[in-house]
Amino acid sequence: MIPTREEMYAALENRHGAELQKKLSTASVAVCGLGGLGSNIAIALARAGVGKLHIIDFDRVDISNLNRQQYFPEQLGQLKSDALYDTLKRIAPYCDIRSECVKLDEENIPQLLADDDIIVEAFDKAERKAMLVNCVLENMPQKYLVSGSGMAGIAPSNTITTKRITKRFYLCGDGVSDVADGMGLVASRVLICAGHQAHAVIRIIAGEYDIN
């Protein structure tokens, strides 16, 4: 039997405290890209009790995704936005989830992300990352932005960090590693970077801002 909304909120409040859980429950976060970073970030935020999640991707689940992304073999071929929506609803049935299958670009970003408090960049390709980051910084300076860069290979976990680049822009990763350098993306290290991004979001919601 699925717990009631009140029961699930009470359990989260017991873990996080009333003040933080209220902030989490009223926050709205957009996760742009639902691959290795984005699917893990979205699940972490849903489990933390973030009230509104806006998940965006235009791709479909492929067998090559299964080593690090939060999808199941039976979801192969499904739109990632649909597949992850179903998973998130199983985890957090009362979360307000807006799922969109769309390719973000400079033209549609300001409109599509207008209602989100925090924007998470979780794309795979460097040029797509740069496009989203630049577009948000130039056109939506009032938004908080959390981006990821550098999580490939099997380098030490502690080389992945979270840095506050500007007042509202955070960058997570090692800033160096790239798939093109040799070894590709390994589930554990991608998950570490995703955890950094999700935790940066939670700290922003809590009003705890990194000083570096």
Q: What is the pLDDT of residues 74-105, one digit of tens each?
A: 999 999 999 999 999 999 999 999 999 999 99
Burial code of 61-91, b = ≥16 C-beta within 10 A, e = fewer?
Answer: beeebeebbbbeeebeebbbbebbbebbeee
Sorted by where each begins, the domain ranges of the chain are 17-206
The amino acid at residue 129 is: K
Under CATH, what is the fold of the domain 17-206? Rossmann fold (3.40.50)
What pLDDT does 177 receive? 74
pTM comes to: 0.96
Q: What is the DSSP letter of 157?
A: G
Q: Residue 2: CA atoms inside 13 Å, Cβ hemisphere, count?
A: 8
**Tokens standing for residue 85:** 């929506």
What pLDDT does 181 receive? 55
What pLDDT does 170 receive? 98
- pLDDT beneath 50, residues of the chain: none
> Strand, helix or coil at 7?
helix
What pLDDT does 183 receive? 66
What pLDDT does 186 receive? 92
**Tokens standing for residue 192:** 């570490």
What pLDDT does 211 receive? 61
Burial code of 157-195, b = ≥16 C-beta within 10 A, e = fewer?
Answer: eebbebeeeeebbbbbbbeebeeeeeeebbeebbbbbbb
